[in-house]
Amino acid sequence: MTNARITLVRDFTLGEVPRRLFGSFVEHMGRCVYTGIFEPGHPEADEKGFRQDVLKLVKELGPTVVRYPGGNFVSGYNWEDGVGPVDKRPRRLDGAWHTVESNAFGLHEFVDWSRLAGTEIMEAVNLGTRGVDAARELVEYSNHPGGTYLSDLRKQNGSAEPFDIKLWCLGNELDGPWQIGHKTAHEYGRLAQEAGKAMRFVDPDIELVAVGSSHSSMPTFGEWEHTVLTHAYDEVDYVSLHAYYQEDDGDVKSFLATAVDMDYFIESVVSTVDAVRAAGKHSKHVNLSFDEWNVWYQRGLDTDDQPHNVSKGWREHPRLIEDAYNVTDAIVVGTLLNSLLRHGDRVKIANQAQLVNVIAPIRSEENGPAWRQSIFWPFARMAELARGQILRASVDSDKYESAKFGDVDVVDVSATWDEDNGRVALFVANRGLDEPADVDVSLSGFVVGRVSRAEVLRVPNGKDRFATNTLEGGEQVGLSPLTGVTVTGSRLRFTLPALCWAVIEVEVTRA
């Protein structure tokens, strides 16, 4: 039996839970848009072509902000192609994913969809093949009330009121040789500085995200952030991070510990950002936007310089990276969410990539059903319950040895305190493959009442870590009640099954 002691103190907090941590990502890639969120003619599509079965699952998942339209796609995208009468929009070749883009879905459609979904928009501009002029014109088209050519064109295209998009990405992964318009850090830093300045001349209230490293193994990691921010620190509010993880060669222990790598990545970028702040004598803090993250099995990829699967011919919305997620993947996603929440004092935005079909928590079939993948559940529960203050968790856990990360806590946790609703929520994972874990939680400074919720990831047959939810097999992986949770005074005790993720919520008042 594994043991873990967790101490939570009411007054030891990191600050408010950033609600934008629970973001998602819609890119014109594979079947994320077409036959994902948008499929005219589907039995459950509305008059605008939005799939209502998918939209229902999106609302249940609970993303707060959605990044659009890319991703690699945006670095070759002309935003003007996606506005105006649909029958007059041009068909284009998309070099990022080697597909044909019909442009039947564009900015207006995404704004309409996001309003139905109840999500904020995080819009990306093309700083690959385009630059300052296109970026500022897109802000004017989207946000200016009227009386200019571009704002009146928006009205002519059916949107009398401004879109009022406040969160903008200054390009995507431009440190990567695979990116259309790949740049050096100096080239990108100057472009981001000037594009951001011009965009703010149009709308001074927008927030801007500078491109950071595509992953922490990039040869320019650290140097890239430092150089970019040396140019653009005053113009931007956030710098981005991207990371994807997979189980390599059966090394499940390292895979289960990948949140350790996310911790390192975040803390390294914070150090770099703050070094630029100190050297430049800047007064403001630039925070972090982890705007691409997930489990992604990148097997059979072409070369190190092209870390993305592409289709073999020029087709519209082919199937691309439609990973079927298992129980183990869901537990890893839960621990990655824990890492993001534990760093919520500096990570203010995060976007799981992507929303539907493409490495996604939701799957759909053309002219068919939609369903939840295993990774849906940790995201949905944390998006629902992680509110109020982030509690600093002191964890004393038994450890196991991993090949990549050394000794790692078997039990991983994050916690929040919602004083308005009188709830403490714990999000816990047992990384142990074979043994259950006895967990003892001390809630100092609280009067603890009843357990209002206790759920654990349901594993078919109690052991199958490779179980998935599929069209043919249905939703085998979900949530079930976690029994045996007890409260004694200010202590909470429970036992986690081997290899599991769980959420426990208790009623509390101030002591």
Residue 310 pLDDT grade (very low, low, confident, very high; cuts 50, 70, 90): low
Residues with Cβ within 8 Å of 147's Cβ and at least 6 positions away in sequence, in order, are: none
Out of 27, 80, 225, 292, pick the active-site residue: 292
Q: How far apart are CA 360 and CA 322, in angstroms?
A: 7
Residue 298 pLDDT grade (very low, low, confident, very high; cuts 50, 70, 90): confident
For the chain, give every residue range classified as CATH 3.20.20.80: 63-323
pLDDT digits (tens, 9 = 90+) for 333-356: 999 999 999 999 999 999 999 999
Q: Rounded to two decimals, what is the model's pTM?
A: 0.97
CA atoms within 13 A on the CB side of 322: 19
Cβ-contact 465, 29 below 8 angstroms: no
Tell me the average pLDDT across 200-213: 98
Tell me the average pLDDT across 160-173: 98
Residue 158 pLDDT grade (very low, low, confident, very high; cuts 50, 70, 90): very high
Q: How far apart are CA 104 and CA 111, in angstroms?
A: 14
Residue 305 pLDDT grade (very low, low, confident, very high; cuts 50, 70, 90): very low
Residue 173 designated active-site: yes
C-alpha R_g of the chain: 23
Out of 39, 140, 173, 505, pick the active-site residue: 173
Determine which helix (DSSP H) or strand (DSSP E) holds 163, and give its type and residue range: none
Predicted pLDDT at 311: 63
pLDDT digits (tens, 9 = 90+) for 454-487: 999 988 776 789 999 999 999 999 999 999 999 9
| CATH number listed for the domain at residues 63-323 | 3.20.20.80
Answer yes or no: is pLDDT of 207 > 60: yes
Residue 292 designated active-site: yes
Predicted pLDDT at 461: 75
Predicted pLDDT at 300: 47
Q: Which fold has domain 2-10+389-510?
A: Immunoglobulin-like (2.60.40)
Residue 302 pLDDT grade (very low, low, confident, very high; cuts 50, 70, 90): very low
Predicted pLDDT at 299: 66
For the chain, give every residue range classified as CATH 2.60.40.1180: 2-10+389-510
